[in-house]
């Protein structure tokens, strides 16, 4: 259990800093390029650091488990695309706490599938959901050009992050059924290979579509994003994406190994503390501010995360 707790906390720290870096990368070069090079530098970590230090064995990777790992990682990739989009258009200190509530979904599914819930854990899940409701809305006014009608509406990026949160909640719960047999690092490596392959196919589809002579407006969804050169020029994007890719894959490995050594509900709750790191960095470096009730929502989310761990 102690190992699982330590790995959950490491995943939280690495994901928290990675999300801060990803926000910088998406604003520098967009969602697609951030997704693509995040997988690339994640694979580079395996090739340069992990494999030479501790070669991975895939003895437990049956065809069924491998297909399941591929499928789950593709769904997680779709969730990551939504999250990265939310980082681009929304406030980091708002988007991150909502994303962290995926842990409540994963914990709830874990408890319902056999892990016995306590009163504190149930209260934590409820607090997290209420916190998402508060943190995810803001008041419009007549002076706000983006909110022509007075009232409460969803903030920018909130619909995207809510969908991403649901995706992460289910898929990170489902990983508990394959990682014990395959290994946490192995599942992470399969995911990076799968995601980079899928994104490269999108790049190739965009290139072929342009070669065919069709206008950009008639290109398939997603291929417009790669109509310009794939590798951005300038140093700003690379300063953000290189650490983001390394930290993101490391956090995934920590999480995957953690759920093989401790209860999923415990590891995922500790991992979801990543938002504390992200919000702190946004406050320190981006000077982001939230309304009082949004801070109350963030506080409820954090309190819920702690209670789920009791």
When the pLDDT of each residue in the chain is averaged and rounded to a whole number, the result is 85
Among 103, 111, 151, which residue's Cα sits nearest to residue 131?
Answer: 103
285 contacts 19 by C-beta, under 8 angstroms: no
Quote the pTM value: 0.84
Which DSSP string do the residues of 96-110 spell out, in sequence order?
HHHHHTHHHHHHHHH
pLDDT value of residue 262: 87
Domain ranges of the chain: 2-142+154-308
Element (H, E) at 138: strand 137-140
* pLDDT digit string, tens, across residues 41-78: 999 999 999 888 888 999 889 999 999 999 999 999 99
* pLDDT digit string, tens, across residues 142-151: 334 344 444 5
Chain centroid to CA 40: 16
pLDDT value of residue 75: 97
* pLDDT digit string, tens, across residues 112-137: 888 876 788 778 878 887 887 777 66
* pLDDT digit string, tens, across residues 293-309: 878 888 888 888 778 66
Report d(CA 13, CA 24) in Å as an integer: 17
pLDDT beyond 90 at 252: yes
* Phi, psi values for residue 276, rounded to 5°: -65, -40
pLDDT value of residue 80: 96
pLDDT beyond 50 at 141: no
């Amino acid at each position: 259990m102690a190992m699982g707790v330590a790995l959950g906390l490491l995943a939280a720290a690495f994901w928290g800093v990675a999300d801060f870096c990803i926000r910088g990368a998406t604003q520098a070069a967009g969602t697609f390029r951030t997704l693509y090079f995040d997988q690339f530098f994640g694979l580079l970590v395996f090739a340069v650091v992990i494999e030479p230090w501790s070669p991975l064995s895939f003895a437990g990777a049956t065809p069924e488990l491998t297909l399941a790992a591929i499928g789950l990682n593709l769904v997680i990739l779709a969730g990551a695309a939504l999250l990265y989009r939310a980082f681009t258009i929304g406030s980091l200190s708002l988007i991150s706490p909502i994303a962290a509530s995926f842990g409540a979904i994963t914990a709830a599914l874990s408890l319902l599938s056999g892990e016995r819930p306590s009163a504190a854990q149930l209260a934590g899940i409820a607090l997290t959901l209420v916190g998402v409701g508060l943190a995810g809305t803001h008041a419009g006014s007549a002076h706000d050009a983006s909110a022509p009608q007075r009232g409460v509406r969803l903030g920018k990026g909130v619909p995207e992050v809510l969908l991403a949160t649901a995706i992460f909640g289910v898929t990170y719960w489902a990983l508990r059924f394959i990682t014990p047999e395959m290994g946490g690092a192995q599942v992470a490596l399969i995911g990076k290979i799968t995601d980079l392959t899928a994104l490269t196919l999108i790049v190739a589809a965009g290139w072929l579509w342009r070669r065919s002579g069709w206008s950009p407006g008639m290109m398939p969804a997603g291929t417009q994003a790669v109509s310009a050169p794939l590798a951005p020029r300038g140093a700003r994007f690379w300063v953000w994406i290189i650490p983001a890719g390394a930290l993101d894959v490391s956090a995934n490995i920590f999480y995957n190994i953690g759920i093989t050594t401790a209860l999923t509900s415990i590891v995922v709750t500790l991992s979801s503390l990543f938002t504390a790191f992200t919000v702190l960095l946004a406050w320190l470096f981006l000077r982001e501010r939230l309304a009082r009730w949004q801070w109350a929502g963030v506080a409820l989310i954090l309190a819920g995360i702690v209670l789920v761990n009791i």
